[in-house]
């Protein structure tokens, strides 16, 4: 046990790894602080580079970059009234209102300090929950896994989006993309239409880069809004008064971090949804809800800790079951497979040092966030002046070279560009993207477990619910399916009878 | 571009139907109920059902609010000349990249690619070419030298560094 921890320390504190973490921090802070570049995009852009690294530095780069990006997304919210990442959108107006009142340093400080606190809370939950869940999951058979994956996909459609029908469509499309190629139980080439490039399936990484990076750039290129103006205000010591806030709002911090971790762990819902929900919750339970929206720090404290704790929470299902908790871990799972660190409960027993190293990485990332984030706030005005008209074309060229680098084929570039256009069109038509990504990541797992369960049970569908845990998971999945449906039917009937009655 | 939900629905019904027909040609595994066609078949049925629901929804929305309804709506940026040009250039440079990168080489193609895009965004004209060249060389250095990705040299093969 302690031997594995020692190995983990050795892996994490290797000079190369430290260097990677510092580099990834600066990258993450920058990406988060530039509006239009998201934390998920930071991850997607890192993949081609991490492709050439050992497993732990590769994960280190992603963990630190995303933690930093979710925090630094608060900065342009404060100074430009534009969220740097979607995870800051929930409280952008609040932060900007604080800046208008001359309280920019408190808003930024609260964002920074309580991001780190939330991140550490999420990490603590990850450290406790993941190993015990993994131990529990060691007894799972294909029946349980089938239901788990189905439940994850169900959550992504019904809980994480406000468009369940369209979410279902994109989920099916994602599962269909995952079905391309020889990677099926019968090794029959499906949907390849004679193209040998498709035999191995559609690459996960080019699809992710396209959907999360290229689509953002298309949006930027056709963007009609004029450049926002930076609020010029001297920013003093951002740490001033933070202890006071921690003493004043302990319940809010705890509630935000808990909710954030839970939302993060739910498949498909990530930091942005966590922030929206906890901001709403903060207002709902506040003693002074009338102050919300006028530059009141309470909501920023709560949702600022929620979005960072969601990051760590999302790793729980990702590491234990290989089911991504958010779009970032969807990419992470692709990286883990590339590094032969296939997620699953056996990862915890065969290579515990790798898991401990991931825990340590999260702790370090959230600790170095304080000094590096402070530096980032100091440099904020300069970062916000970086011309995006130069930046966006360069990122696009980087995406092209990055997709090429994975397999050295132009075919992957094509896949990436198509994925970018598809994501742009789908989102313009209110089709959510996350279910599609989860479908692509989990498609093979769903089919494999379904087919091996069918073979084991000789086609008897009752076997899917005859094991107690499988039965419970199945019941839960069906409940998530039919509860919203029943509720909307009920609402429709009530509306109709209400219309008839005078 | 925005399409009415009913149009999306119709496309999905077609796609789902085509899928169901296509998987009939997949081989069956003797002695088993599950073959490679089962899963895509289920997806096909699912897509078709969702498509039908979307058709109903789209038509219902249209009849409820005929004024605000549309079959096909162009995005707002389609009426702004600069954005329209930028979009056209965006498509063009990517197609161009895929077609010529092997012949022209990465350094030249990348420079043209960046310069064209910066040109339609708001970068000052006198700065475009130097910035594009320097940034392309930077990406080339990072991937070709540091990560050893075999980016093509094309016409510059004889002076490859």
Q: Which of residues 62-91 of B touch A (CB under 8 A)?
A: 75-77, 80, 83, 86-87, 90
Q: How many domains does chain B have?
A: 2
* Contact: A222, B19; criterion CB under 8 Å: no
| Cβ-count burial A5-23 (b if 16+ within 10 Å, e if not) | eebbeebbeeeebeebbee
Map residue B3 onto helix, strand or coil: strand
Cα–Cα distance, A432 to B9 (Å, whole number): 16
Radius of gyration (C-alpha) of chain A in whole angstroms: 23
pLDDT digits (tens, 9 = 90+) for A186-202: 788 888 888 888 888 89
- Give the pLDDT score at A496: 57
Return the number of other C-beta atoms located less than 10 Å from residue B98's C-beta. 16
The number of C-alpha atoms within 13 Å of A478 and in the hemisphere containing its C-beta is 8
The answer on B65 and B134 residing in a single domain is no
> Which candidate from A387, A414, A428 shows the least CB-CB separation from B98?
A414
B73, B87, B94, best to mutate vs chain A, most A CBs in 10 Å: B94
Reply yes or no on whether the pLDDT at A222 is more than 70: yes
Q: What share of chain A is helix, strand, coil (3-state, %, to 5)?
A: 75, 0, 25
The answer on B39 and B109 residing in a single domain is no
Over range A232-243, report the average pLDDT. 84
The answer on B125 and B110 residing in a single domain is yes
- Give the pLDDT score at A502: 37
* Contact: A401, B53; criterion CB under 8 Å: no
> Which candidate from A175, A218, A408 shows the least CB-CB separation from B150?
A408
Q: For residue B15, give the chain A residue with the closest CA.
A: A173
* Cβ-based burial of A500 (10 A; exposed 0-12, middle 13-18, buried ≥19): exposed
Q: Which of residues 157-196 of A touch B (CB under 8 A)?
A: 165-166, 168-169, 172-173, 175-176, 179, 184-186, 188, 190-191
Question: Of B46, B73, B100, which residue sits at a domain end?
Answer: B73
Q: Which two tokens stand for residue B130?
A: 């130097």
Which has the minimum average pLDDT: A433-442, B28-37, B46-55? B28-37
The answer on B92 and B106 residing in a single domain is yes
Q: Please report the sign of the dihedral spanned by the C-alpha atoms of residue A346, residue A347, residue A350, residue A355.
A: negative
Domain ranges, residue B10:
2-73
Confidence grade of residue A499 (pLDDT, cut at 50, 70, 90): very low
The reply to whether B134 touches chain A by the CB within 8 Å rule is: no
Using a CB-CB distance cutoff of 8 angstroms, which residues of chain B are in contact with residue A193? Answer: none
Over range A122-147, report the average pLDDT. 93
pLDDT digits (tens, 9 = 90+) for B88-137: 999 999 999 999 999 999 999 999 999 999 999 988 999 999 999 999 99
Tell me the pLDDT of chain A averaged across its residues. 90
- Give the pLDDT score at A320: 94
Over range A212-239, report the average pLDDT. 84
Q: Which two tokens stand for residue A430?
A: 């209110």
* Contact: B35, A224; criterion CB under 8 Å: no
pLDDT digits (tens, 9 = 90+) for A312-337: 999 999 999 999 999 999 999 999 99
Reply yes or no on whether the pLDDT at A293 is more than 70: yes
β-partners of residue A190 are: A181
* Contact: B102, A165; criterion CB under 8 Å: no
The answer on B113 and B150 residing in a single domain is yes
Q: Please report the sign of the dihedral spanned by the C-alpha atoms of residue A37, residue A40, residue A41, residue A42.
A: positive
The answer on B61 and B24 residing in a single domain is yes
Which has the minimum average pLDDT: A80-84, A109-113, A167-171, A440-444? A80-84
Cα–Cα distance, B17 to A443 (Å, whole number): 20
Cα–Cα distance, A316 to A333 (Å, whole number): 12
Reply yes or no on whether the pLDDT at B82 is more than 90: no
Q: Which two tokens stand for residue A252?
A: 């809010």
* Contact: A451, B34; criterion CB under 8 Å: yes
The reply to whether A467 touches chain B by the CB within 8 Å rule is: no
The reply to whether B46 touches chain A by the CB within 8 Å rule is: yes
* Contact: B121, A221; criterion CB under 8 Å: yes
The answer on B142 and B102 residing in a single domain is yes
Using a CB-CB distance cutoff of 8 angstroms, which residues of chain B are in contact with residue A428? Answer: 1-2, 75
Q: Please report the sign of the dihedral spanned by the C-alpha atoms of residue B134, residue B135, residue B136, residue B142.
A: positive
Of all residues in chain A, the percent with pLDDT exceeding 90 is 63
List, as one string, the DSSP characters of A301-333: HHHHHHHHHHHHHHHHHHHHHS--SSHHHHHHH
Q: For residue B18, give the chain A residue with the closest CA.
A: A191
The answer on B95 and B61 residing in a single domain is no
Cα–Cα distance, A114 to A278 (Å, whole number): 13
> Which candidate from A186, A191, A389 shows the least CB-CB separation from B118?
A389
* Contact: B40, A173; criterion CB under 8 Å: no
Q: Please report the sign of the dihedral spanned by the C-alpha atoms of residue A153, residue A158, residue A160, residue A163.
A: positive
The reply to whether A142 touches chain B by the CB within 8 Å rule is: no
Q: Which of residues 438-457 of A touch B (CB under 8 A)?
A: 447, 450-451, 454-455
Confidence grade of residue A228 (pLDDT, cut at 50, 70, 90): confident
List, as one string, the DSSP characters of B27-57: PPPTT-S--TTHHHHHHHHHHHHHHHHHHHH
Interior angle at CA B10, CA B7 and CA B11, nearest 5: 90
* Contact: A454, B8; criterion CB under 8 Å: no
The helix (run of H) or strand (run of E) holding residue A273 is helix A271-285
Using a CB-CB distance cutoff of 8 angstroms, which residues of chain A are in contact with residue B36? Answer: 184-186, 188, 190
The answer on B151 and B81 residing in a single domain is yes
* Contact: A169, B54; criterion CB under 8 Å: yes
* Contact: B143, A172; criterion CB under 8 Å: no
Q: For residue A390, give the chain B residue with the closest CA.
A: B118
One-letter-per-residue 3-state SS of A406-452:
HHCCHHHHHHHHHHHHHHHHHHHCCCCCHHHHHHHHHHHHHHHHHHH
- Region of A215 (left: φ > 0; alpha: ψ -120 to 50; beta: rest) is alpha
The answer on B108 and B61 residing in a single domain is no
The answer on B100 and B44 residing in a single domain is no
Return the number of other C-beta atoms located less than 10 Å from residue B158's C-beta. 6
Predicted ipTM of the assembly: 0.93
pLDDT digits (tens, 9 = 90+) for A79-100: 888 888 989 999 999 999 999 8
- Give the pLDDT score at A494: 65
The answer on B116 and B47 residing in a single domain is no
* A·B CB contacts under 8 A: 138
């Amino acid at each position: 046990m302690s031997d594995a921890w020692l190995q983990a320390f050795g892996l994490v504190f290797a000079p190369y790894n430290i260097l990677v973490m510092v580099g990834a921090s600066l990258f993450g802070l920058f990406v988060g602080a530039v509006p239009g570049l998201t934390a998920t995009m930071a991850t997607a852009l890192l993949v081609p580079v991490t492709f050439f690294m050992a497993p732990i530095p590769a994960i280190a780069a992603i963990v630190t970059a995303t933690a930093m990006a979710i925090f630094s997304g608060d900065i342009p919210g404060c100074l430009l009234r534009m969220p740097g990442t979607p995870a800051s959108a929930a409280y952008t107006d609040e932060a900007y209102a604080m800046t208008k009142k001359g309280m920019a340093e408190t808003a930024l400080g609260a964002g920074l300090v309580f991001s780190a606190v939330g991140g550490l809370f999420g990490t603590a939950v990850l450290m406790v929950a993941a190993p015990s869940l993994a131990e529990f999951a060691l007894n799972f058979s294909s029946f349980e896994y089938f239901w788990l994956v189905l439940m994850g996909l169900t959550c992504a459609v019904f809980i994480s989006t406000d468009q369940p029908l369209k979410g279902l469509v994109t989920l099916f499309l994602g599962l269909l993309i995952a079905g391309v190629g020889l990677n099926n139980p019968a090794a029959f080439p499906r949907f390849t239409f004679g193209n040998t490039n498709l035999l191995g399936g559609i690459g996960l990484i080019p699809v992710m880069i396209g959907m999360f990076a290229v689509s953002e750039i298309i949006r930027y290129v056709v963007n009609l809004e004029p450049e926002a103006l930076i609020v010029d205000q001297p920013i003093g010591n951002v740490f001033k008064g933070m202890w006071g806030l921690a003493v004043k709002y302990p319940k809010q911090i705890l509630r935000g971090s808990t909710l954030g971790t839970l939302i993060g762990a739910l498949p498909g819902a990530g930091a942005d949804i966590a922030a929206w929900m906890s901001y709403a919750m903060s207002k709902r339970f506040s003693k002074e809800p009338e102050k919300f929206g006028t530059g009141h720090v309470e909501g920023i404290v709560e949702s600022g800790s929620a979005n960072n704790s969601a990051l760590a929470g999302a790793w729980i299902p990702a590491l234990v079951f290989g089911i991504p908790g958010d779009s970032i871990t969807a990419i992470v799972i692709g990286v883990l497979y590339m590094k032969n660190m296939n997620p699953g409960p056996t990862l915890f027993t065969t290579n515990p040092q790798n898991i401990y190293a991931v825990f340590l990485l999260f702790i370090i990332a959230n600790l170095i966030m304080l000094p590096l984030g402070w530096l980032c706030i100091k440099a904020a005005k300069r970062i916000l002046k970086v011309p995006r008209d130069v930046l966006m074309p360069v990122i696009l060229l980087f995406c092209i070279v990055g997709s090429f680098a994975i397999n050295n084929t132009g075919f992957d570039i094509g896949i990436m560009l198509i994925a970018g256009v598809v994501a742009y069109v789908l989102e313009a038509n209110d089709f959510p993207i996350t279910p599609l990504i989860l479908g692509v990541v989990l498609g093979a797992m769903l089919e494999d477990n379904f087919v091996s369960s069918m073979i084991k049970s000789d086609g008897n569908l009752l076997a899917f619910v005859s094991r107690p845990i499988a039965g419970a998971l199945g019941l839960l999945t069906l409940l998530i399916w039919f509860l919203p449906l029943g509720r909307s039917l009920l609402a429709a009937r009530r509306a109709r009878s209400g219309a008839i009655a005078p | 571009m925005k399409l009415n939900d009913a149009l999306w629905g119709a496309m999905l019904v077609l796609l789902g139907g085509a899928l169901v027909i296509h998987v009939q040609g997949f081989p069956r595994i003797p002695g088993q109920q599950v073959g490679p066609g089962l899963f895509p078949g289920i997806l096909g049925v699912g897509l078709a059902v969702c498509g039908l629901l979307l058709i109903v929804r789209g038509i219902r929305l249209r009849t409820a609010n005929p004024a605000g309804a549309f079959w096909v709506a162009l995005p707002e940026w389609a009426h702004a000349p600069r954005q329209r040009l930028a979009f056209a250039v965006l498509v063009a440079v990517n197609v161009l990249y895929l077609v010529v990168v092997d012949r022209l080489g990465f350094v030249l193609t990348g420079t043209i690619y960046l310069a064209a895009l910066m040109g339609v965004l708001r970068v000052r004209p006198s700065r475009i070419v130097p910035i594009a060249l320097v940034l392309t060389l930077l990406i080339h250095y990072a991937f070709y030298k540091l990560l050893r990705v075999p980016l093509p040299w094309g016409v510059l093969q004889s002076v490859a560094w």
